[in-house]
Amino acid sequence: MYSAEYIQTIIRQKLAEAEYDREPHGLYEPIRYMMDLSGKRLRPALCLLACDLFGGDIKLALDPAVGIEIFHNFTLMHDDIMDDAPVRRCKPTVYKKWNQNTAILSGDTMMALAYEYLMKAPAFALQEVLKEFNRTAIGVCEGQQYDMDFETQTEVTIDDYHRMIRLKTAFLIAGSLKIGAIIANAPPEDAGKIWSFGNNLGIAFQLKDDLLDVFSDHNKFGKMKGGDIAINKKTYLYLKSLELANPAQKKILKKYLSPLFTDQKAKIEQVIKIYEELGIRDHVWQEMQKYHLSAMSFLSQINVNRDRKSEISKIAGQMLIRET
Amino acid sequence: MYSAEYIQTIIRQKLAEAEYDREPHGLYEPIRYMMDLSGKRLRPALCLLACDLFGGDIKLALDPAVGIEIFHNFTLMHDDIMDDAPVRRCKPTVYKKWNQNTAILSGDTMMALAYEYLMKAPAFALQEVLKEFNRTAIGVCEGQQYDMDFETQTEVTIDDYHRMIRLKTAFLIAGSLKIGAIIANAPPEDAGKIWSFGNNLGIAFQLKDDLLDVFSDHNKFGKMKGGDIAINKKTYLYLKSLELANPAQKKILKKYLSPLFTDQKAKIEQVIKIYEELGIRDHVWQEMQKYHLSAMSFLSQINVNRDRKSEISKIAGQMLIRET
C-alpha cells in the first residue's frame, strides 16, 4: 500500500516527463504552460489511490491518471475563456497570455491528448475505462452549461445548484476514483461505492471552492476576491443567503447580483456584507460536513480491510481542510 | 457490395436517428442544429465504403462512422469561431446564432460524443480504431494551428501549405477510410494504402475547396465570395500566384493580402483580378489532378478485385467534380 504523498510524487514525476515540445509550438506551448501551473494533482492521485485501495497495480493506472489530469486542465482552459477569467494561480490564463483562438485550439488538442493517455489503460479494462471517462466528460460539459445558464436565469433553486456542481465538479472526482477501481479489477458493487464516495466528496469540495472565493487569503489562492460575485455566479453562498435573508436583504442580494448592476466593487462589497450578516460561512461549512459524512459512509461500506482506507480518507480530509 | 448512394442513405438515416434532445437544451440544441446543416456526409461514407471494399460488415462500422461525422462537425463549429465566420451553408454559424461560449462548449461536448460513437467499434478492432482516430484528431488540431499561424506569418511556402492541408483536411479523410478498413480486418499493408489514397484525395479535395472560395456559384455554396481572401488566408491560389507573379503583381498581392489592409471589398477584388490575370484556376486544377492520380495509384495497388473498387473510385471522382 502506498502513501498519498508517494502517489503524488510519482504523478508529479510522470507529468514532468510528459512531452509537449511537438510542432507547431503555437499549439503545444500553451499546453505545457497550463500543465505546469501546478495544482494539487488531486484527480490523478485519487485515481491511483482507488487502484491501490482495491489491490491493483498502480503502474497500470498511471497513464490513465495523467489523461484525467490533462482533461481537467483542458476544462479549465476553456472555462477561463467562458468565464472571462484573467488570472489562474497568480498567472495570466492562456487566453489572456496568448489569445482566445489559442485557448480554444490548444484546449481541443488537450482533450485528444487526454484520450491518448486514457487509451493506455490495460486491455482488459479499456472499454469500461473509456466508457466511464466519456460519461464523465459529457457530464462535465453539461455541468458547465447549467453553470452558464444560471448567470442569466433569475430563478435558481438549491436543487438546481446541486445538479450543476454534481456534474461540473463531482463527476470528475467520482470518475477518477472509479477508473482506478476498474483498473484494479474491483467488484462492480465496490466500484459503484467508490464512485458515490467521490460524488459526495466532490460536492463538499465545490462548496469549499465557493467559500474560498469570498473567505480566503486571496494572495495565496491566486484569484480575485469575490470573482464569482463579480460575474453573477449563483453559488451555494448566494442561494442559501437568499433562503435565509429577510425581505430587505433579499432585495439587496437580487439587485446587486445581476448583470444589470455593473459597478463591480460595490457589487462585491454589498453581497459580502450580507453574507457576513447571515453568517453564511457556517451554513456552508455545515453543508460541507453533511456531504463529507455521506462520502465517508460510502467508503466504510466498501468491502476492503479498514486499514487500506486510511490514505484515501486522509486525502479526502485534506481536500476539505478549513482554510477559510 | 453496396453502392455509394445506398451507403449515403443509411448514413443519413442513422444520423437522423441520433438523439440530441438531452438536457440541458442550451447545450444540445446547437449540436442538433449543426448536425442538421446537412453536408455530403463524405467522411462517414468513405469509412463505410472502405469497410465494404475489404469485405467487412458495414453495420459494424456505422457507429464509428457517425462518430467521425460528429467529430468533423465539432471542428467546423470551433473553426467558425476562430475564423470569425458568420455563415455556413446559407445559415448563421452556431457562434453567431447563439454565442461564442455556446459554440465552445457544445463543440467540446461533440468531441466527447464522437468518442462515444467511436467506442462502439467491435471489440477486436477497438484499440486500433481509437488509436487511428486519436492520431487523426490531434493532426486536425495541428493543421488548424498552422492555418492560423499563416494568417500573421509573412513568409509561407507551398511546402508549408501542403503540410497544413495534409493535417487539417487530408488526415480526417485518410483516417475515415483507414478506420473502415480496420473494422473490415483488412491486412495492415492494404489499410496503409487506403490511408495513402485518402491522404492524396484529401489534398486534392482541399485544393478544390480553395478554388471554390473564389470561383463558384456562391449562392449555391452558401459562403461569401473571397471569404478566404477577406481573412488573409494563405491558400494555394495565393501562394502559387506569388510564385507566378511578375514583380508588380507580387507587390499588389502582398499589399492587399495583409491584415494591415482593411478595405475588404477592394482586397477581394484586387486579389481576384490578379488570380484571373495569372490563370490560377488552371494551375490549381492541374495540381488537383496530380493528387487525384496519385490517390488512384494507391487504390490500384490494393490487393482487392478491381470491381470492388468502383464505388470508392466513383465517390473520389465526385469529390473533385469541376463545379467551378
What does the pLDDT average to over A261-286?
A: 94
Lowest mean pLDDT among A171-180, B116-125, B140-149, B213-222: B213-222
pLDDT at A198 over 60: yes
- Confidence at residue A322, expressed as pLDDT on a 0 to 100 scale: 58
What does chain A come to in residues? 324
For residue range B9-58, what is the model confidence (pLDDT) as tens digits? 999 999 998 877 789 999 999 999 999 997 889 999 999 999 999 999 99
Q: In chain A, what residues touch B144 (CB-CB under 8 Å)?
A: 105
Q: In chain A, what residues touch B113 (CB-CB under 8 Å)?
A: 138
- Confidence at residue A210, expressed as pLDDT on a 0 to 100 scale: 93
- Structural contact between residues B201 and B173, judged by C-beta atoms closer than 8 angstroms: yes
Among B29, B138, B140, most A C-beta atoms within 10 A, so best to mutate, is B138
- Structural contact between residues B178 and B132, judged by C-beta atoms closer than 8 angstroms: yes
Q: What's the mean per-residue pLDDT of chain B?
A: 94
How many Å from the N-terminal Cα to the C-terminal Cα in chain B? 32
Q: Across the interface, do A138 and B109 touch by the CB < 8 Å criterion? A: yes
Q: Collect all residues with Cβ–Cβ distance below 8 Å to A228 and sequence separation of at least 6.
A: A210, A213, A214, A235
DSSP H/E element including A92: strand A91-92
Lowest mean pLDDT among A114-123, B115-124, B215-224, B257-266: B215-224
Confidence at B323, pLDDT banded by 50, 70, 90: low
Please indicate whether residue A99 or residue B259 has the higher confidence score (pLDDT).
Answer: A99
Among B102, B142, B163, most A C-beta atoms within 10 A, so best to mutate, is B142
- Confidence at residue A57, expressed as pLDDT on a 0 to 100 scale: 98
Residue B134 is nearest to which of A23, A27, A119, comparing CB atoms?
A: A119
C-alpha cell at B272: 481576384
Q: Across the interface, do A148 and B101 touch by the CB < 8 Å criterion? A: yes
Q: What is the dihedral of CA B201, B202, B207, B208, to 10 degrees?
A: 80
- Structural contact between residues B197 and B225, judged by C-beta atoms closer than 8 angstroms: no
Q: Across the interface, do A26 and B130 touch by the CB < 8 Å criterion? A: no
Q: In chain B, what residues touch A149 (CB-CB under 8 Å)?
A: 24, 26
Confidence at B222, pLDDT banded by 50, 70, 90: low
Lowest mean pLDDT among A166-175, A223-232, B236-245: A223-232
B91 forms bridges with which residues in the sheet?
B88
> Domains (ranges, CATH) in chain A?
4-319 (1.10.600.10)
DSSP code, position A166 = I
Q: In chain B, what residues touch A78 (CB-CB under 8 Å)?
A: 104-105, 108
Distance of CA B18 to the CA centre of its chain: 22
Measured over the CA atoms of residue B291, residue B293, residue B298 and residue B302, the dihedral's sign is: positive
For residue range A274-305, what is the model confidence (pLDDT) as tens digits? 999 999 999 999 999 999 999 999 999 999 99
Q: Across the interface, do B116 and A108 touch by the CB < 8 Å criterion? A: no
Q: Across the interface, do A134 and B112 touch by the CB < 8 Å criterion? A: yes
Measured over the CA atoms of residue B176, residue B42, residue B4 and residue B115, the dihedral's sign is: positive
Give me the percent of chain B exceeding a pLDDT of 90: 82
DSSP code, position A170 = I
Q: Across the interface, do A134 and B115 touch by the CB < 8 Å criterion? A: yes
DSSP H/E element including B87: strand B87-88
Q: In chain A, what residues touch B111 (CB-CB under 8 Å)?
A: 108, 111-112
Residue A145 is nearest to which of B26, B111, B142, comparing CB atoms?
A: B26
Other beta carbons less than 10 A from residue B190's beta carbon: 19
- Confidence at residue A220, expressed as pLDDT on a 0 to 100 scale: 59
Measured over the CA atoms of residue A211, residue A212, residue A214 and residue A216, the dihedral's sign is: positive
Confidence at A174, pLDDT banded by 50, 70, 90: very high
Confidence at B85, pLDDT banded by 50, 70, 90: confident
Q: Is the ipTM of this complex over 0.90?
A: yes
Q: Across the interface, do B105 and A148 touch by the CB < 8 Å criterion? A: yes
Q: Across the interface, do B24 and A149 touch by the CB < 8 Å criterion? A: yes
Q: What share of chain A is helix, strand, coil (3-state, %, to 5)?
A: 75, 0, 25
**pTM above threshold 0.80:** yes
